[in-house]
Homo-oligomer: A and B are copies of this chain.
Amino acid sequence: MMRTRPLKVALLGCGVVGSEVARIMTTQSKDLAARIGAPVELAGVAVRRAGRVREGIAPELITTDAAALVAREDIDVVVEVIGGIEPARTLITTAFEHGASVVTANKALLAEDGSTLHEAAEKHGVDLYYEAAVAAAIPLVRPLRESLAGDTVNRVLGIVNGTTNFILDRMDSTGAGYAEALDEATALGYAEADPTADVEGFDAAAKAAILAGIAFHTRVRLDDVHREGITEVTAADIASARRMGCTVKLLAICERAADGRSVTARVHPAMIPLTHPLASVREAYNAVFVEAEAAGRLMFYGPGAGGSPTASAVLGDLVAACRNKLSGSRGPGESAYAQLPVSPMGEVVTRYHISLDVADKPGVLAQCATVFAEHGVSIDTVRQQGKDGEASLVVVTHRAPDAALSATVEALRNLDTVRGVASIMRVEGE
């Protein structure tokens, strides 16, 4: 039986995502009501600049006073799609204090201060949902938080940033350099005017922090995530990867240590074999592998960004938050009981692909190999190539702690016979 008094929703932000949320709430209102068990009504939309006509939204719903909107006692759920730390954090906190549940797509805020938000939601007996914060409509938060709640997740590995995947895919398929591929991404709307958050890996790192936190039942913040962007990736790196039967992807990798007592989270470009399913994730798509002890290896794939896919995730959470409001219950809150320490990058065990410019004379390979051995790093393959008195040495290592690998590189740099380190890249997915 359906309740007739509608649930009231306040929408903060009416950009690409917000306007799509409002549109679907209007056009699909009957379906949403049937699925929730009560009608749901847009009670207010906070925007930065009033005056613009917003198609499908009654003008009297528009306000520039977000603080007043979230403090209204009649609001059941606040949807926050402004992004950024402030004023989002204050608005969400105010919403909780006034008894509203919150659905947010704000990865930056969650990675910065998710625990405080979870605690506030808990204190006020309301929900905090955020499926849209990671990979838009690809279900990841809910599967990790609920479907795998009885399993032990050991690894989350994936492509969680569409912009950088588009750029690397273009570099790989056309041979373009980074700058050229970025220009194309910008022209096509895949990269923002200031692409820093994407290309420097901040966006992916925030998502890695969120995923690691849920997967390992441990608080993981943005600062805990080792982060390297793609700005240093060259056409030569991509060509090297090709010669190894690999491609280069920006990966987010969250791992439980072999002994189970600590976890790591990192974002960096890496070579992965062309045979790995992530190698065929093209353009701005996202894909994430989750490895759990009982479930095995699961993959989730789809468009990881965009107004409609993000709105889909927001609306799924909105339905859940509304159902809980109706039944007087709460969804699962933060689960951080495991409190595992987050180890630094140096303790991550991985492989390196190192390309060195060396003097073309006898004994250089032996000298380099000694440096690897001294640092306890075992070599998998070496390829030596001479050209006009100079030579290049391409070394792929076996798995070793990242600290040992980077110390090896430092020592190589100090060899007289090593003219320079042309590139270093980790190798994953094998």
Contacts and interface: CB of A to CB of B under 8 A. Distances in A.
B300 A296 contact: no
A217 B335 contact: no
A326 to B, nearest CB: 10
Interface in A149-172: 149-152
Contact of A149 (B143, B308, B319, B329): B319
A315 interface: yes
B139 A147 contact: yes
A404 B52 CA distance: 52
Residue of A147, A301, A319, A323 ringed by the most chain B CB atoms within 10 A: A147
B296 A302 contact: yes
A296 B303 contact: yes
Contacts of A143: 139, 142-143
A31 interface: yes
A312 B297 CA distance: 12
Interface string A21-58: 00010001001101100000000000000000000000
B149 A137 contact: no
Contact of A297 (B217, B296, B303): B303
Contacts of A315: 149-151, 294
B335 A35 contact: yes
When all copies of this chain in the complex are counted, the total is: 2
Contacts of A32: 150
Interface in A120-143: 131, 136-139, 142-143
A146 B319 CA distance: 8
A332 B337 contact: no
A67 interface: no
Interface string A292-308: 11111111111100101
Nearest to A150: B315
Contact of A330 (B136, B297, B327, B332): B327
A122 to B, nearest CB: 11
A268 to B, nearest CB: 25
A125 to B, nearest CB: 11
Nearest to A314: B150
A328 interface: yes
Contacts of A137: 147-148, 151, 292, 294-296, 298
A147 B151 contact: no
A241 B14 CA distance: 49
Contacts of A311: 294
A139 B277 CA distance: 19
A165 to B, nearest CB: 15
A298 B297 contact: no
A312 B151 contact: yes
Residue of A147, A150, A277, A294 ringed by the most chain B CB atoms within 10 A: A150
A299 B297 contact: no
A138 B320 contact: no
Contacts of A35: 149-150, 217, 335, 337
A302 B299 contact: yes
Contacts of A253: none
Nearest to A328: B329
Given A152-B31, A320-B149, A312 B295 contact: yes
A1 B293 CA distance: 27
22 contacts: A20-B294, A31-B152, A32-B150, A34-B337, A35-B150, A35-B335, A137-B292, A139-B147, A142-B142, A143-B143, A146-B319, A146-B320, A150-B316, A150-B318, A150-B319, A151-B315, A294-B309, A295-B302, A295-B312, A296-B302, A296-B306, A297-B302
What are the 8 closest A-B residue pairs judged by CB atoms, nearest first?
A150-B315, A329-B329, A137-B295, A294-B312, A295-B312, A149-B319, A298-B302, A139-B147
